[in-house]
Structure 1
């Protein structure tokens, strides 16, 4: 079961992400309710609750309110957070966490696929390194979830992944495997950099537009061939399965 408890508890500028503390219990099934009691709750949509209580059951937040009026389930593990502030975790909408470690060391970087600019069939999840030292540092500063994306050096660099920043493996941290496919048309693409690369197509914005248009046309052609394949298969007509890895991921 995936956990989505995006909470940060803070006192004196030092953050403790309870998603980490309860992961071993919540990842499979929460054995008993947990209540954070006595702290200041920043609810965002319902203002600030002083002397609040927050109840979690089965990996989800089930109650938030004042300690005097909010019922804590019988048998719950009550954690005193008096003097602390509880607030929703931040979500980083674009990051390279898990894809890079040391900029000067190529062996620790998996930010871009160098073989082509049109690589929609590349998946961040396949390269994501869950044990990156940068992840716990980010987590301790209040970021609980992130969209991990490739660098912008390819026009279609691959599929972004949405992860929670707690877990011992990529499988534990994954929330959505392929959440988005970025399209880069900013001039940062590697074909626009360096004298050697400029001798190759596409070396201009017009060339990049033509290359991108062709990728969409190829995907459209693949979709039509796949629809025809399904029609013939349903009628038990022998036919060849169409193959286009790039087109398959664009559509």
Structure 2
């Protein structure tokens, strides 16, 4: 067993414990207390330090788009067909990408990573830990979502190829057609009818069974509404909006529809028409409207280690405040990823992913000192173990 002693514990869901104690056993949090926990344990002295749950990046392409080199490490977009649901992120993830260590050094212990937005239907994403050598052993959930995209990206890609879709109508057609074929395939299988095996259609079965959501890249308000119209209203499927630059314009609609939004990136906005309304205040407006909201780096768009600085800017310049901004990269992200029973806060019984800082992580002066993954110290004294 291991104890973290005398740190200022930000539980996220149950307030702050000054001079607190955490007991960890078998990779999970066994006890949290404001008083010393008696016993002969290995101890981490966190006096004068701040203790947080491991941070979560709710949308990235970590391991699929290398920061180093060029096409050799760009494996997130199979842009040979606008609908490629059978693509699996796990088959292209490179855990030796140096950005995984960058994530750990910032206390980011869990990520959602998957295909890019070149195709209308891009493939299956995963939720994984950021510590490890073998992708399969780092996985928390696979598949965790099916990537789809509306707006400028698929239009640009396939206009250059003189191929459908070159308009928003074409994107909607490809999306609707894929879902229609998948629904027929799924219903025929349920009825025990003979079907010709189709790997693309098989990839959509977890979506129709409600096991994973459609993770839909969309910036402009009308694209967000179109995505919900088709996926949720026509096919009754679960949806998460990714990026959602214009989501504030339809925030009451999103709250009514109970559709979560993963906002960002906000530190480095691409010069596109559909992203011109990006603002550090947007997450605040969504939260105030009752929309379940998280932040993303969209790594490598924002290098993953700057997730905390981005959250800090949302907290201070965006007006959300430290407490609510912290939720965007912890419990809210965990809820959207549907892993909040085990991650996203410091609570008894949850996985012991912990980040210990010598100052507030939203500040440029705050430095990560220690990181635990499943109760094991993988970063200690500011160095990788």
* Residue from 162, 165, 170 that aligns with 1:202: 165
Relative distance call for 1:175 and 1:241 in structure 2 (3 A) is same
**Equivalent residue for 1:234?**
none
- Extract unaligned runs of 5+ from structure 2: 206-385
> Do the aligned partners of 2:128 and 2:140 also contact (CA within 8 Å) in 1?
yes
Q: How does 1:168-183 map to 2 (within 5 A)?
A: 168-183=133-148
* Residue from 28, 42, 46 that aligns with 1:60: 28
**Equivalent residue for 2:55?**
90
Highest RCO, 1 vs 2 (Cα 8 Å, sep ≥ 6): 2
Does 2:181 match 1:218? yes
Structure 1, residues 192-240: CA drift from partner, whole Å, max 9, x if none?
A: 248642x222222222222222212211221233234x36xxxxxxxx5
Relative distance call for 1:195 and 1:119 in structure 2 (3 A) is closer
* Residue from 105, 108, 128 that aligns with 2:93: 128
Q: How does 1:210-249 map to 2 (within 5 A)?
A: 210-228=173-191, 230=192, 242-249=196-203
Taking the aligned partners of 1:39 and 1:93, their CA distance within structure 2 comes to: 27
Does 2:7 match 1:44? no
> Do the aligned partners of 1:226 and 1:242 also contact (CA within 8 Å) in 2?
no
Relative distance call for 1:103 and 1:157 in structure 2 (3 A) is farther
TM-score for both structures, normalised by structure 1:
0.75
> Do the aligned partners of 1:155 and 1:185 also contact (CA within 8 Å) in 2?
yes
User: Which one has the bigger helix percentage?
Assistant: 2
**Equivalent residue for 2:2?**
34
> Do the aligned partners of 2:65 and 2:73 also contact (CA within 8 Å) in 1?
yes
Relative distance call for 1:194 and 1:46 in structure 2 (3 A) is closer
Give 3-state SS (helix, strand or coil) of 1:166's partner.
coil
Relative distance call for 1:194 and 1:210 in structure 2 (3 A) is closer
Taking the aligned partners of 2:169 and 2:143, their CA distance within structure 1 comes to: 29
* Residue from 156, 165, 180 that aligns with 1:192: 156
> Do the aligned partners of 1:123 and 1:160 also contact (CA within 8 Å) in 2?
yes
Give 3-state SS (helix, strand or coil) of 2:91's partner.
helix
Give 3-state SS (helix, strand or coil) of 1:209's partner.
helix
RMSD of Structure 2 on Structure 1 (CA): 2.0
Bigger Rg, structure 1 or 2: 1
Taking the aligned partners of 2:159 and 2:94, their CA distance within structure 1 comes to: 33
Give 3-state SS (helix, strand or coil) of 2:180's partner.
helix
> Do the aligned partners of 2:90 and 2:135 also contact (CA within 8 Å) in 1?
yes
TM-score for both structures, normalised by structure 2:
0.50
**Range that drifts further, 55-64 or 101-110:** 101-110
> Do the aligned partners of 1:160 and 1:177 also contact (CA within 8 Å) in 2?
yes
Question: Displacement of 1:185 after TM fit?
Answer: 0.8
> Do the aligned partners of 2:96 and 2:133 also contact (CA within 8 Å) in 1?
yes
Q: Aligned pairs, how many? A: 205
Structure 1, residues 146-166: CA drift from partner, whole Å, max 9, x if none?
A: 100211111110111001111
Taking the aligned partners of 1:242 and 1:194, their CA distance within structure 2 comes to: 29
